[in-house]
Amino acid sequence: MANRVEARVIDLDGMYDPCRPNDRLLLGMKGSISEFELNVLRMRMLDAARAKAQRGELRISVPIGYLWHRDVGLGLDPNQRLQEVIRLIFARFRERGSARRAFLALLAEQVHFPRPTDGRTLTHFDWTLIRYRNVISVLKNPFYAGAYAYGKSGKQTSIVNGRAHRTYKHRKPFHEWEVLLKEHHEGYIDWSEFERNQKLLAANAYGKAGDTKSGRGGRALLAGLLGCAHCGRRLSVAYTGRTPRPVYRCYRFDMPPKCMSFGGSRIDAAIGRELMRVVEPMAIEAALQAEQMHMDTLNEQRQIIELELQQAQYEATLAERRYAACDPDNRLIAAQLEKNWEAALRRAQACQARLETTRTPAESISIPDFTTLAQDLDAAWNAPGVTMRMRQQLVRALIVDIITDVDETTREVVLTIHWQGGQHSQLRIRKPKTGEHGCSTSDEALAVIGSMAGRWSDQDIAASLNRMGVRTGQNKTWTAHRVSSIRRVRGIDAYRSAQKNGQWLTMSEAAKLLGVTHYMIRRLINDRVLPAEQVMPDAPWQIRASDLRSDAVTAALTRKHRPCRSNVEGQLPMFIEVSEGGA
């Protein structure tokens, strides 16, 4: 361009004419040397910044909760409310084991998180309800573990339309970071906990082989916890039937046919019983710890609200001072300052109301009695208020992994349980046959029906089963019709009154024959005066007819309205009998 218009190039060394070859050569050499010098300066600056970062002295942007101090360097933000919110995020993730569940718990507690309003200086915040991005960013940032990290992202070059296209801020894995200084500054957690959090987040997101997902609810207790003994992968959960029932199976679309498949109801029940058996010796201690954790959670919530109230009161006082310092004649500014003052007062009143609610809980919210629950673990495990997610969380707190196999010779599901602490145990659960459902009548109920059917009616058998607390296969109470149906299916002979030969009588028949009440017959049986038999406990009494004519029964019946006393030799009477005629 300069050659076409015959322009001249002038610098400190002289004037050049681009039309001349010598001048063009000299200008090209100077331009190349200048570009080289710029590259050298840039590389020296980058090397200096990298060297300073390796010493942990490069003042890069830090996350919320940290500040660069002029004297001590990188340190915690002095805002106590900000520190407590960040610590609460780690505490909830430690309890829940999932970032989403921790976020939902914090959202239910109405926890607020700061949002910077002044760019990168991080000196002014707007407190808004916490979001999922706030939780996940805090959990994944190594600065909160006391580590100084530099060079966490890099650039990538791709060919777009025949040209090189560069993109930046692509995150690198840990081992590719340029600088990582552990224990560089005070952290909210230690580095070992940070590594555990990253492994747990990765396992929850991808569910790779060897990883255990956190409990996410559903109908299956052991979802994401069972491992296949053949291929090592996690067993997936499928739901079948009109009423969805969980089925565990080792099946992948990109792999050969499935290794195993079995129903989940019996497996979940067996693991629940084994868990209660293991926890029972330490139930009282666990109940006390649970009560302490419950109180700690309430104290954390109260502390967060107290800090929020302090900040709201400060903002209200600041708004009042601004309103007082304003010129009363300037109504435009005074009106806006008055609105800000009123809004700050409303926020302070709302925080005060929330704090009073936490200090004096409502009567409808009853504090659980953990000691009573420890005495009846089965009731606590099957309580209506206990969700499947809570049970899954308890299982994962005690069990690391369960390796599953199926023994086809004995048709049993073999479970090898790896407990926390390194202990191992094995369970064998019978695998139902094809077409066998879980609503069949229990063996105990069949034994009662078989032993009582020859002597008692279906109504008496149903009453005995209900007194014993035995339920039907569908978890219902017994009736005469249901007992009759079971007898027909199982081929058990029915009770027939015509077959009775009069040798055995019921309690009602014995009372009618002797002309006394049921209470008298029961009293004679309890006093062991009248012999009687029971097929099993809680079954009706059976009385032999010949025993009603015994001397002991006759003597007991003739001794009416008088207490039964035994004559002791040498005992003086308390009352002296007096004849009707007097002395």
- And the tokens for 266? 């019996």
Average pLDDT over residues 220-228: 84
Average pLDDT over residues 131-145: 92
Please, what is the end-to-end C-alpha distance for the chain in angstroms?
Answer: 160
Strand 125-129, strand 112-116: pairing: antiparallel
Top pLDDT among 393 and 576 is at 393
What pLDDT, on the 0 to 100 scale, is given for residue 138?
Answer: 93
pLDDT tens-digit series, residues 453-486: 767 778 888 888 888 888 888 888 999 888 888 8
8 Å CB contact between 516 and 556: no
Range in 156-170, 349-363, 400-414, 440-454 with the lowest mean pLDDT: 349-363
- Phi/psi region, residue 190 (left: phi>0; alpha: psi -120 to 50; beta: rest), is beta
Average pLDDT over residues 79-103: 88
3-class DSSP state of 204 = helix
What DSSP assignment string belongs to 476-534?
----HHHHHHHHHHHTPPPP-GGG--SSEE-HHHHHHHHT--HHHHHHHHHTTSS--EE
Judge if pTM exceeds 0.75.
no
Range in 39-43, 132-136, 306-310 with the lowest mean pLDDT: 306-310
Per-residue pLDDT for 569 more than 50? yes
Average pLDDT over residues 293-320: 82
Average pLDDT over residues 161-171: 82
8 Å CB contact between 146 and 184: yes
Spatial CA neighbour of 401 closest among 200, 251, 192, 213: 213
Rounded to 5 degrees, φ, ψ at 215 are -65, 130
State the chain's maximal CA–CA distance in angstroms.
169
What pLDDT, on the 0 to 100 scale, is given for residue 518?
Answer: 80
Which H or E run includes 198? Answer: helix 191-206
Per-residue pLDDT for 499 more than 60? no
Reduced 3-state DSSP string for 383-423: CCCCCHHHHHHHHHHHEEEEEEEEECCCCEEEEEEEECCCC
What pLDDT, on the 0 to 100 scale, is given for residue 579?
Answer: 47
Alpha helices in 326-387 (DSSP H): 331-359, 370-375, 377-381
Q: How confident is the model at residue 211 (pLDDT cuts 50, 70, 90)?
A: low
Alpha carbon dihedral 315, 321, 323, 324, in 10-degree steps, equals 160
Which H or E run includes 436? Answer: none
Average pLDDT, the chain: 79
CATH number, domain 504-558, options 3.40.33, 1.25.40, 1.10.490, 1.10.1660: 1.10.1660
- And the tokens for 290? 């649970």
Per-residue pLDDT for 352 more than 70? yes
Buried b (16+ CB within 10 A) or exposed e, 183-210: ebbebbbeeebbeebeebbebbeeeeee
pLDDT tens-digit series, residues 400-416: 888 888 888 888 889 99
How many degrees, rounded to 5, is the angle at CA 481 between CA 475 and CA 482? 30
Strand 226-228, strand 399-407: pairing: parallel
Each domain of the chain, given as residue ranges in start order, spans 9-54, 66-222, 223-438, 443-498, 504-558
Buried b (16+ CB within 10 A) or exposed e, 89-106: bbbbbeebbbbebbbebb
Per-residue pLDDT for 53 more than 80? yes
Neighbours of 542 (CB within 10 A): 18
For 120, 134, 178, the CA distances from 152, given in Å and listed in that order, are 18, 19, 7
What pLDDT, on the 0 to 100 scale, is given for residue 199?
Answer: 86
Neighbours of 417 (CB within 10 A): 20
8 Å CB contact between 62 and 74: yes
Q: How confident is the model at residue 137 (pLDDT cuts 50, 70, 90)?
A: very high
Residues contacting 330, CB < 8 A, separation 6+: none
Per-residue pLDDT for 503 more than 90? no
What pLDDT, on the 0 to 100 scale, is given for residue 155?
Answer: 82
- And the tokens for 234? 């996690």
What pLDDT, on the 0 to 100 scale, is given for residue 116?
Answer: 79
Q: How confident is the model at residue 103 (pLDDT cuts 50, 70, 90)?
A: very high
8 Å CB contact between 187 and 217: no
What topology is assigned to 66-222 in CATH? Hect, E3 ligase catalytic domain fold (3.90.1750)
What pLDDT, on the 0 to 100 scale, is given for residue 424?
Answer: 87
Per-residue pLDDT for 89 more than 90? yes
Per-residue pLDDT for 13 more than 80? no
Neighbours of 517 (CB within 10 A): 10
Which H or E run includes 471? Answer: none
Per-residue pLDDT for 71 more than 90? no
Q: Compute the distance between CA of residue 157 and CA of residue 220 in angstroms, rounded to an integer.
A: 46
Per-residue pLDDT for 574 more than 60? no
pLDDT tens-digit series, residues 358-410: 776 544 445 555 555 555 666 767 777 778 877 887 888 788 888 888 888 88
Average pLDDT over residues 424-433: 84
What pLDDT, on the 0 to 100 scale, is given for residue 438?
Answer: 65
